[in-house]
Amino acid sequence: MFLDNLQNLEFKNIMQEHIYRVIEFLLGENQEFGVACEIEYVNFNPPLPTSIQKTLPNITLFMLANYTLESALVEGDILRFEAGFGTENIGAIVTIPLLAIKQIFVGEYPILINIAETIREEELEEESSGDMDSMSILLNNPENAKLLRKRGKRD
């Protein structure tokens, strides 16, 4: 299938950078948004009670608004925020790998769709044992290098 060709590490790195930049922009604008993500990759600290965890669907939508939005940050390859769950509003820090985010919404509009699969442990080991890290792969494309240089001049 055609989409199988888009599951290589280079494409995943491109998608991860795109997701990062979209979230970074939304946070900078203090814009409320939602993320639909694969729950199997989401980490809750402290862990949610089983009664709540088992009610979360495979693709779960988290809305980042109010305090949740204020607590949100994107760093490296993850999105992290604080949220309350259940009728008791049990607090947890939610950590989502960027590639586990399948869609980003502003209001009712999807503004990002991610078809890349989440990077698995064996891919990370393969990447770290290879000659090039993800930034090197990203910078290997001259257009990406130009964009990052321009971005650095603005910061």
Q: Write out pLDDT tens, residues 94-130.
A: 999 999 999 999 999 999 999 998 876 655 555 555 5
**Residue ranges of the chain with per-residue pLDDT less than 70:** 1-2, 120-155
Q: Which two tokens stand for residue 37?
A: 């993500």
The H or E element containing residue 35 is strand 33-38
Q: What is the pTM of this model?
A: 0.76
pLDDT at residue number 119: 75
Residue 62: other Cβ atoms inside 10 A: 20
pLDDT at residue number 4: 73
Pick the CATH number of 2-118 from 1.10.3720.10, 2.40.50.140, 1.20.1050.40, 2.30.30.220: 2.30.30.220
Domain boundaries, the chain: 2-118, 120-155
